[in-house]
Amino acid sequence: MSEEAKSTTAEAALGPPVAADGPDPKRWLALIVLLAATFMDLLDVNIVTVAIPSVQKDLGASSAAVQALNVGYTLSFAVTLITGGRLGDIFGRKRAFLIGVAGFVVASALCAFAPSAEVLVTSRVLQGMAAAIMVPQVLAVIYVTFPAEEIGRVVSLYASMIGLAIVAGPLLGGVLISWDPGGLGWRTVFLVNLPFGVAALIAGALWMRESKSPRATRLDLVGMVLVTTGLLLLLLPLLRGRELGWPA
């Protein structure tokens, strides 16, 4: 496929690369918000692993519940991701992004103050669903906010933030568990999301420009259910099949 054809396809799906009145003067400020949300999401994915022994000891969580902390997040994220992207196309990417961030903050608080392993696992599932609404908006907003000559630089910054979050997660988790500020123990690995999320909400509301897909008209509920069910049936055996004793 030629570059022109690729550009035409992307424009049809996302809308024009920049607004008709030119690039958003606040686009670099908006990028800070998008990168902060990306960092928050990937930090959370990688920081939780370090806290698992403390969670198991404090809440008396079973091995299955401990495994569900990561599996529940991953599975709910994966099966909701396509729908999350579609919601941004239809109702507005800024709106969907802010809703996703708000949901992620609330779910993080629920995780931090969970009184039992069951509540913690449920909150992790909600976290994954909120992330699936937030995450797909990031690259879509980048594409429609920045002119073509800046996209390469912006995507490089985005990739760098991904790498930084992956490295920082276990390190920060270890520091928080060892330091144990306020005697909160493992709960701090979820509380650390709150300042990132609240800052992203406020700054995003101020600095981000709204955009929608020109071809998005309605949410295909039947298609959404079919895709979600199909992904669930595909991913559940891969993530839990061996633990449940299912044949390979």
CA 97 to the chain's CA centroid: 9
- Is pLDDT at 16 greater than 80 in this prediction? no
Query: And the tokens for 144?
Result: 């429609």
Summarize pLDDT for 42-85 with one digit per residue, the tens.
Answer: 999 999 989 999 999 999 988 878 888 888 898 889 889 989 99
> If pLDDT is split at 50, 70 and 90, which confidence band does 5 have?
very low
Burial (CB < 10 A; 0-12, 13-18, 19+), residue 78, is middle
Query: And the tokens for 24?
Result: 């958003």
Yes or no: say if 18 and 147 are a contact pair by the CB < 8 Å rule.
yes
pLDDT at 66: 84
pLDDT at 23: 82
pLDDT at 241: 59
What is the overall mean pLDDT for the chain?
86
pLDDT at 8: 43
- Is pLDDT at 210 greater than 80 in this prediction? yes
Q: How far apart are CA 208 and CA 30, in angstroms?
A: 5
pLDDT, mean of residues 138-143: 95
> If pLDDT is split at 50, 70 and 90, which confidence band does 20 have?
low
pLDDT at 225: 78
Does 248 or 150 have the greater pLDDT score?
150
Does 221 or 106 have the greater pLDDT score?
106
> If pLDDT is split at 50, 70 and 90, which confidence band does 242 have?
low
Q: How far apart are CA 32 and CA 88, in angstroms?
A: 19
pLDDT, mean of residues 112-130: 94
Helix, strand, coil fractions of the chain, as percent rounded to 5:
80, 0, 20
pLDDT, mean of residues 11-31: 72
pLDDT, mean of residues 12-26: 66
> If pLDDT is split at 50, 70 and 90, which confidence band does 139 have?
very high
Q: Closest Cα partner for 123 from 181, 198, 175, 48? A: 48
- Is pLDDT at 207 greater than 80 in this prediction? yes
pLDDT at 12: 46
Q: Which residues contact 127 (CB under 8 A, 6 or more apart)?
A: 44, 73, 76, 104, 107, 108, 111
Domains of the chain: 24-235 (1.20.1250.20)
pLDDT at 247: 61
